[in-house]
Structure 1
Amino acid sequence: MPDAAAVLSLLGMARRARAAIDGQDRILAAISSGQAKLVIVAFDSGLNGRKKMFDKTSYYHVPIVEFGDKAELGKAIGRKEAAAIAIVEDGFANKLRSRIGETLGGGAFDENSSV
């Protein structure tokens, strides 16, 4: 069964393939423009930023999931910290959704989740 390390490794590959975006403004723009295929938010990200991410992804029907903490997500993509990451390529998004779902359990992508 895949674990968190496998998900973080896949995030690193997505970053190197230029399929991952970090930075709140860039992520929100990617969601609005239809580029974002999946948004991953750290468990310990700030409430204001989380609300913006969840509201925007809900409005534009982009899958969103909470996974890892800011330090883990940041390290995976070569940063000190990352509160959120948007995946902009279908292949990586589908693989990450599958791996995160297996790691966190079937309800990870609950359509009715809210902050």
Structure 2
Amino acid sequence: MEAKSKILNFLGLARKAGKLSPGGFMTEKTVKGNRACLVLVSEEASDNTKKSFLNMCTHYKVPIYLFAGKEELGGAIGKEMCTTLAVTDPGFSRQIEKLLIENGGSEYEGK
């Protein structure tokens, strides 16, 4: 199974386990509440959204990655679309981050 599918599967499992905060408002609340272990922002998100979450994650020292399209992210967690989500479980976060890095992904730095 390719890495993208594995990551999407992990996101689905994390959602079922109640370890995800999907959507802009919930992601922001989770990061600011120091409960986020990892933030994923859709590659299709607006520049403004990317910048605002990058600044927030940098401030709160949360790893942030650009990953997948809005529909792919949403589909993985049982929604139509999802632009941002926070993973709140360290175990899921480590696995997802490991897969992202192994497959050429790197932490988003706003380039």
Q: Give TM-score, length-normalised by structure 2.
A: 0.93
Counterparts of 1:3 and 1:37, CA distance in 2: 20
Contact 1:38 1:86 in 2 (8 A): yes
For residues 49-87 of structure 1, the C-alpha deviation after alignment (integer angstroms, 9 at most, x for no partner) is 211111100111100001101010000000000001100
SS of the counterpart of 1:21? Answer: strand
Output the amino acid matched with 1:18: G
Structure 1 position 48, deviation (Å)? 1.8
**Counterpart position of 2:101:** 101
Contact 1:44 1:83 in 2 (8 A): yes
Matched residues, percent identical? Answer: 29
SS of the counterpart of 1:34? Answer: coil
**Counterpart position of 1:62:** 62
Counterparts of 1:3 and 1:36, CA distance in 2: 22
Structure 1 position 109, deviation (Å)? 2.1
SS of the counterpart of 1:40? Answer: strand
Output the amino acid matched with 2:36: A
Stretches of structure 2 that go unaligned for 5 or more consecutive residues are none
**Counterpart position of 1:89:** 89
Aligned residues between the structures: 111
- After superposition, residues 1-115 of structure 1 pair within 5 angstroms as 2-103=2-103, 105=104, 108-109=106-107, 113-114=109-110
Counterparts of 1:14 and 1:100, CA distance in 2: 16
Runs of 4+ in 1 over 4 A off after TM superposition: none
